[in-house]
Amino acid sequence: MADHDIRVLDESQVRAAHTLFRGSLHTAPAPDEKWEQVKDSYVPGRALGAFQDDELVGTAQSWAAGLAVPGGAEVPLAAVSRVGVRADWTRRGVLSALMRRQFRSFREAGEITATLRASETTIYGRFGYGVASRGRNVTVDRYRATLLPSAGTGGRIRLVDKDTALALAPVIYDSVGLTRPGMTARWPAWWLLNLPRALNDENAQLAVHRGPDGDDGYVVYEVKSSSTGHGKRVLTVVDLVAATPAVWAELWRFVFRVDVVDEVVGELRPVDEPLEWLFADRRVVKVTEVEDETWLRLVDVPATLAARSYGRAEPVVIQVRDRCLPENDGTYRVTPDGAGRTDLPADLALDVDLLAAIYLGDVPFSALAAAGRVDVLDPTAPARADALFASAQSPWSGTYF
């Protein structure tokens, strides 16, 4: 394995890194106009480059954010993106070197968790990332969909222009807050790139719900003619934020009342979102796919275990294995009152990527144990661990990047 030199990139190097990243996805370099839109999303000190004889052969970057965990706490999070290795340098340890350097920098910054959206599912498990939330894609035939009566919210929904949307959406998102485990605080570069990209489509709209205390929700949607199905008009919900269940329902009702639309699509929506219950016939909501959403890395296992709340059950002792960050190795006693290191013998043993998959409540210990992915040292332990790590809501981020 080559000895790679991992460096923090300066301003003069980030465009080359961006070009390398795009090239790793078989995409041409960003033209000047596009680069002008993107360059400010590179945060000083957070872009890394892997060099061999002063030649850039790999890159990775991140942003500082926050993650909601069961119990309502928000913990420091690093959002990882733009990871790429040049095609002639793959499988030589470049990515491993970049990941390890990132993890060290995250720990130094107090960012106890990290997340990414994986382009390929086989890459990141070996670095300790696990699938911690999933989203479902849904399709509704609008002509078959009959909404049930509703008392409404007493508020009003209005369409706003692009400039107003760009100003209002971040304020509403922050005021609503992180309402379920897995949601992430959106960093400045996310708003700089993602919302303008969505609204640049000439058929995109942002509708804002205003309640008695002010703006408390919005939905971004776009309407396009499908390339199949004889050009039927499809409305796709891109982003939906609501302060309360009533506002959530009202925004969806608004979407289903938009005229000259044949089909409504929701992408990567929460797997437990009760959309079906808005209709007289629940079968009009078709789940077309369930996909992984959040890939989570527990950078500091003791801190992350201590940060979340737990259900009522007898304690369980978990042994954690972490090849990339051996300081996380050890046994942890989890109780309804918290979690911490212990010298007690383990009831269960697992790798850190599987603990990440369990951490937000998406998958229970017993499911992984049944699949042979968790070492069960006490046969009563999976049921206890399931109860301790259970979450009232399915985890979901809702923030793609």
The verdict on residue 124 lying in a domain is no
Q: In what order do the strands lie in the sheet with 233-242?
A: 156-160, 204-211, 214-225, 233-242, 263-270, 134-141, 285-292
Look at residues 270, 291, 312 and tell me which one is the last residue of a structural domain.
291
Q: At what angle do helices 162-176 and 188-199 cross, to 10 degrees?
A: 140
Q: How many domains does the chain have?
A: 3
Q: What is the pLDDT along the chain (401 residues), one digit of tens a residue?
A: 457 899 999 999 999 999 999 999 999 999 999 999 999 999 999 999 999 999 999 999 999 999 999 999 999 999 999 999 999 999 999 999 999 999 999 999 999 999 999 988 889 999 999 999 999 999 999 999 999 999 999 999 999 999 999 999 999 999 999 999 999 999 999 999 999 999 998 899 999 999 999 999 999 999 999 766 568 999 999 999 999 999 999 999 999 999 999 999 999 999 999 999 999 999 999 999 999 999 999 999 999 999 999 999 999 999 999 999 999 999 999 999 999 999 999 999 999 999 999 999 999 999 999 999 999 999 999 999 999 999 999 999 999 99
Dihedral of the CA atoms 84, 119, 357, 342 (nearest 10)? -10
CA 361 to chain centroid, in Å, comes to 14
The verdict on 46 and 142 lying in the same domain is no
Q: For residue 323, give the CATH number of its domain.
A: 3.30.1050.10
What is the rounded distance in angstroms from the CA atom of residue 122 to the CA atom of residue 29? 26
DSSP letter assigned to residue 41: G
96 and 33 in a common domain: yes
- Tokens 């929460």 locate to 270
Domain boundary among 230, 263, 291: 291
SS3 145: coil
Q: Are strands 113-116 and 263-270 parallel, antiparallel or unpaired?
A: unpaired
| 201 and 92 belong to one structural domain | no
For β-strands 330-335 and 348-351, DSSP reports them as unpaired
300 Cβ contact list (under 8 Å, min separation 6): 107, 112, 113, 328
Sequence-ordered list of residues with C-beta below 8 angstroms from that of 147, at least 6 positions apart, any chain: 253, 256, 257, 278, 279, 280
Q: In angstroms, rounded to a whole number, what is the distance separating the alpha carbons of residues 349 and 331? A: 8
Q: Judge whether 118 lies within some domain.
A: no
In a domain, 122, yes or no: no
Question: Which residues lie closer than 8 Å to 283 by C-beta, 6 or more apart?
Answer: none
10 Å CB burial of residue 260 (0-12, 13-18, 19+) is exposed
Q: Is the residue at 267 inside a domain?
A: yes
401 assigned to some structural domain: no
Write down which residue in 291, 309, 341 finishes a domain. Answer: 291
